[in-house]
Structure 1
């Protein structure tokens, strides 16, 4: 009878020993191949100071952005003639230059793109794009931004200028204020408002956390014993990423994502603290300006480039679309154009979820169809040429 416990102990020791050996072999394999979770350093900004590019932040002491003269526009405005770069830790698509970056420039009027005259040339159709960093095209060369591509696609018998007034950090109210006080002097014939979903809720609600890759764990560094063990690093990293995902799921289950109309109709203190009331008022004002100044205006909804296979913001798209209908504002939802694609395919970099050159091309093609068939069909002929 005494042999049974002995056999049980041996079996247990064999199991434990096997597990230990397996862990040792796994650790050794990871050590030999130096295989750890993929991590990156954050993107780096630099600005041209007249002699060379120097490391900076997004403002660069006025060399990239300067304070706005308009009350409430806290994100400033681009400095005319600014020249700056953003550089990444790697070059996953081979798109970046030899320093894994992209150079961006601002013309003398404060717009991204080539120099243009303030006075509109005779016979030229002028389209002004309003938006934030998605519209500006952070991380993408000027020639690949959707507004520059759109200009090329619309070009034909009649000269067309597409002006990029996208500005990092701007919300819809900022766009309305600068349109009214700055850009109307450019006499646009068409104004395109590119609506990004963080104009519904406040940026503090953590979407920026997901868009810079932090929510995917790209900056998570090993702690404790995981700093000395590749295997423990993988276990710790996987556990922390799962926690981040649980936080994201919990975050997106809140009422202003799942039922935005009921949330904002409630007029509670929580809804009043969101960006949407100011954004809606700004859109209404832009429609008024279009009637007063004689330009056509349309709005395009730019989706979050995340979880496209199980998109958590469909209710917000519907809400914005319905509100634009109430305001008499033609609207175009870009989400269907991204269906079937993975979010990683469309990011500038794992640490920067701005749309890359592939996404910009998709948007340009979609906006061309919106302009030709819905917003200003009278300005374009059916054969794809510009009407005289």
Structure 2
């Protein structure tokens, strides 16, 4: 008899838990955060919330969205339409950076480098920006890019679009690195798509991992001997630009994560102190971006590169910064 009561009690508890789980599942289907489908081709999306991207192909019952990119052999971004290609031989401004400058998820005409060049031309300055951003490049490769481009031509102004992963991360970050949700270490989970309750549990675990692993990895990148070596490389870039009678300007992009309670403010302050000491003009975009929710500036829910809105903000802020600090090349009509 006692055993039967224990079995009934256990069954009652299990049924209650199952009922509660079902109720939570139903509620989360109405009010829970969405789990977006993705593949591991970083420039492809299963959603098109702003209607900005183009359909690339059909994949079963899904439409795959994205953009058609054109690039040089070096990986530099080219205008989307060949007929509209602008010659950059007269460009006096050199842009250095990674996928943020390349403009992943953004049309060529909307890139901050393109918009800056357009604004300068509108004001009678005959120069543009030579966009030498390459997806995946970090500081050592960016320095190499500068040396290669500067050997061909003198640039009075060099813009370095700096992102917080340019110093490299000390360990492989699997899953979200706060930029690529669909990177190679992150795999679409069909069970998360099927169950909102399971997705909530996984989302909570992912948030813990973000704080324990990912955010800490970014902070570690700016500490110790490796960081000291990267700062020295930064100095070398500044010296080489100045040796060629140019000016280096750093445009600091924040990671598009929790901008109002930003966990990387100390890194920005460290970079600002370094640039001030080295005499490098620095434009920090965090104040301008923090007027928005991070989600408003994402290229896509699964791609947290800056979107066309963010590029527009960057172009305006950079233009005003250059004008205010008299950094626009004087001979802007070209040689």
The interval holding the TM-score normalised by the smaller chain is: 0.7 to 0.9
Match of 2:101 in 1: 135
Report if the CA contact (8 A) 1:157-1:387 is conserved: no
The Cα of 1:20 is off from its aligned counterpart by: 6.3
Is 1:38 matched up with 2:35?
Answer: yes
Q: Is there any run of 5+ residues in structure 1 with no aligned partner, and where? A: 1-11, 46-85, 265-270
How far residue 366 of structure 1 moved from its aligned partner, in angstroms, is 0.7
Q: For the pair shown, which has the larger CA radius of gyration, 1 or 2?
A: 1
Residues of 1 paired with 2:33 and 2:264: CA distance?
A: 33
What is the distance in 2 between the residues matched to 1:43 and 1:256? 23
Correspondence for 1:303: 254
- Of 349-358 and 180-189, more deviation after overlay is shown by 180-189
Aligned with residue 367 of structure 1, among 311, 318, 330? 318
Partner residue in 2 for 1:213: 181
Q: Please state how far the C-alpha of 1:277 moved relative to its aligned partner.
A: 2.9
The match for 2:306 is 355
8 Å CA contact 1:133–1:169 kept in 2: the answer is yes
Q: 2:69 aligns with which of 91, 101, 104?
A: 104
Q: Structure 1 205/113 Cα, relative in aligned 2: closer, same or farther at 3 Å? A: same
Tell me, what secondary structure is at the counterpart of 2:94?
strand
Structure-1 residue corresponding to 2:62: none
In 2, Cα distance between equivalents of 1:218 and 1:322: 39
Deviates most, 366-375 or 205-214: 205-214
Matches within 5 A, 1:236-247: 236-247=198-209
Contact 1:378 1:387 in 2 (8 A): no
Structure 1 match to 2:115: 149
What's the counterpart of residue 239 of structure 2?
Answer: 288
Describe the SS at the equivalent of 2:241. helix
Q: CA RMSD in A?
A: 3.9
More contact order relative to length (CA 8 Å, sep ≥ 6): 2
DSSP-derived class of the 2:325 partner? helix
Inter-partner Cα distance in structure 2 for 1:377 and 1:288? 19
Structure 2 unaligned spans of 5+:
1-9, 57-64, 80-84
| Equivalent-residue separation in structure 1 for 2:44 and 2:221 (angstroms) | 39
For residue 191 of structure 2, what is the aligned residue in structure 1?
A: 222
**Which residue of structure 2 lines up, in the alignment, with residue 158 of structure 1?**
125
Aligned length: 311
Cα distance change on mapping 1:386 and 1:341 into 2, 3 Å: farther
* Cα separation, partners in 2 of 1:193 and 1:375, compared to 1, 3 Å: farther
- Aligned-residue offset at 1:203: 6.1
- Whether contact under 8 Å (1:39, 1:218) holds in the other structure is no
